[in-house]
């Protein structure tokens, strides 16, 4: 058992993978909590499409994938915010247009680069074992900055997430806070794509937050539980990947999903078993 936990750390590529997965889980857990509070899970999927052309261009130019993805995501988010000002179109419609277009642009760019097939597969499904030392540093710095910014805007983001009208009446800059959330989701997704891939990154953003939502009614506690579940699922999935020689990204997501199912069944107040106990108690009290 001890060898199972220590052997992967003897390899440099596994050390890099563990660090990136740990940071990805922490960041996605925190940002995903704000996404869950707003009921905006579709934003994660949309942003994952939006960052793709930036990553593709960065790959073709042999520059930082993280920086390329962040720039593309922010540009697309700004375009959505601007075009959404036309109230004839709803925001989700504009998001669908621009984020789908961004993903299409990414595929076109990738098709012009040498090694197109294998590179596209690594972006879609993750390549956490091929992460370089530079990527680890970039992810670490970007993740730390993002967590600091999120902490600074925590109260404002929670207020907007719970009641936009109250936030507007209090004079909070709703538009800029929305832009800030889009930007934070973009960064969280970009630093996680190498771990689980473009297709599965939504799960890392949403699933840990959903687990935490089932386990607690307190927002502060939720913000602590979600990143712990995200990081724990990432580490566990990576260990399983090493042990059984299976896809790391898929196992990370499946581990997080298994935790979600367990929470859905066994959560103390909001789990299936708890609801059944309360229902049985209510029936007994009505018919003693």
Residue 233 in any domain: the answer is yes
- The per-residue pLDDT for 31 is 93
- The per-residue pLDDT for 165 is 86
CATH code for position 170: 1.10.3470.10
Domains in the chain: how many in total? Answer: 1
Task: Quickly count: other Cβ atoms within 10 Å of residue 222's Cβ.
Answer: 23
Q: % helix / strand / coil in the chain, to the nearest 5? A: 85, 0, 15
Longest distance between any two alpha carbons in the chain, whole Å: 75
- The per-residue pLDDT for 264 is 94
- The per-residue pLDDT for 91 is 67
Residue 25 in any domain: the answer is yes
d(CA 89, CA 125) in angstroms, rounded, equals 33
Residue 215 has pLDDT above 90, yes or no: yes
Highest mean pLDDT of the ranges 13-17, 56-60, 209-213, 247-251:
209-213
Please write the tens of the pLDDT for every residue from 19-69.
Answer: 999 999 999 999 999 988 887 777 777 777 788 888 788 877 877 777 888
Write out the two tokens for 88.
Answer: 């004839």
- The per-residue pLDDT for 23 is 93
- The per-residue pLDDT for 29 is 94
Annotate the chain with DSSP letters as a single string. Answer: -HHHHHGGGGSHHHHHHHHHHHHHHHHHHHHHHHHHHHT-HHHHHHHHHHTHHHHHHHHHHTS-HHHHHHHHHHHHHHHHHHHTTSTTS-HHHHHHHHHHHHHHHHHHHHHTSTTHHHHHHHHHH--GGG--HHHHHHHHHHHHHHHHHHHHTHHHHHHHHH-HHHHHHTT--HHHHHHHHHHHHHHHHHHHHHHH-TTTHHHHHHHHHHHHHHH-S-HHHHHHHHHHHHHHHHHHHHHHHHHHT--HHHHHHHHHHHHHHHHHHH-TTTSHHHHHHHHHHHHHHH--
Domain that holds residue 171: 1-281
* Structural contact between residues 199 and 123, judged by C-beta atoms closer than 8 angstroms: no
Residue 12 in any domain: the answer is yes
Please write the tens of the pLDDT for every residue from 267-284.
Answer: 988 888 887 776 666 555
Please write the tens of the pLDDT for every residue from 146-197.
Answer: 999 999 999 999 998 888 888 889 899 988 888 888 889 888 988 888 778 8
| CA angle in degrees (0–180, nearest 5) for 52-85-168 | 105
Query: What global pTM score does this model have?
Result: 0.83
Residue 72 confidence class, pLDDT cut points 50, 70, 90: confident
Residue 287 in any domain: the answer is no
Residue 78 has pLDDT above 90, yes or no: no
Query: Which of these ranges, 79-88, 128-137, 181-190, has the smallest mean pLDDT?
Result: 79-88
Q: Provide the percentage of residues in the chain whose pLDDT is more than 90.
A: 30
Q: Provide the percentage of residues in the chain whose pLDDT is more than 70.
A: 89
Q: Which comes out higher in pLDDT, residue 65 or 262?
A: 262
Residue 285 confidence class, pLDDT cut points 50, 70, 90: low
Mean pLDDT over the full length of the chain? 83
């Amino acid at each position: 058992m001890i060898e199972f936990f220590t052997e992967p750390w003897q390899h440099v590529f596994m050390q890099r993978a563990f660090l990136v997965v740990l940071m990805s889980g922490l960041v996605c857990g925190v940002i995903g909590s704000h996404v869950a509070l707003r009921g905006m899970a579709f934003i994660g999927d949309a942003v994952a499409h939006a960052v793709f052309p930036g990553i593709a261009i960065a790959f073709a130019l042999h520059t930082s994938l993280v920086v390329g993805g962040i720039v593309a995501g922010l540009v697309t988010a700004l375009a959505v915010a601007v075009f959404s000002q036309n109230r004839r179109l709803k925001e989700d419609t504009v998001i669908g247009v621009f984020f789908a277009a961004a993903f299409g642009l990414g595929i076109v760019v990738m098709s012009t680069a040498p090694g197109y097939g294998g590179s596209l597969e690594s972006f879609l499904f993750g390549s956490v074992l091929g992460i370089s030392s530079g990527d680890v540093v970039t992810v670490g710095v970007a993740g730390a900055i993002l967590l600091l910014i999120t902490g600074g805007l925590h109260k404002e983001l929670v207020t907007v997430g719970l009641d936009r009208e109250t936030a507007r009446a209090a004079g909070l800059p709703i538009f800029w806070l929305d832009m800030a959330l889009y930007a934070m989701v973009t960064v969280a997704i970009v630093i996680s794509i190498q771990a689980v891939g473009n297709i599965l990154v939504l799960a890392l953003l949403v699933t840990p937050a959903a687990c935490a939502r089932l386990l607690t009614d307190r927002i502060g506690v939720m913000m602590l539980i979600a990143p712990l579940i995200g990081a724990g699922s990432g580490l566990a999935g990576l260990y399983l990947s090493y042990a059984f020689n299976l896809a790391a990204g898929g196992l990370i997501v499946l581990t997080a999903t298994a935790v979600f199912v367990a929470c859905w069944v066994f959560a103390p107040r909001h789990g299936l078993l708890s609801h059944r106990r309360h229902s049985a108690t209510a029936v007994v009290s009505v018919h003693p």
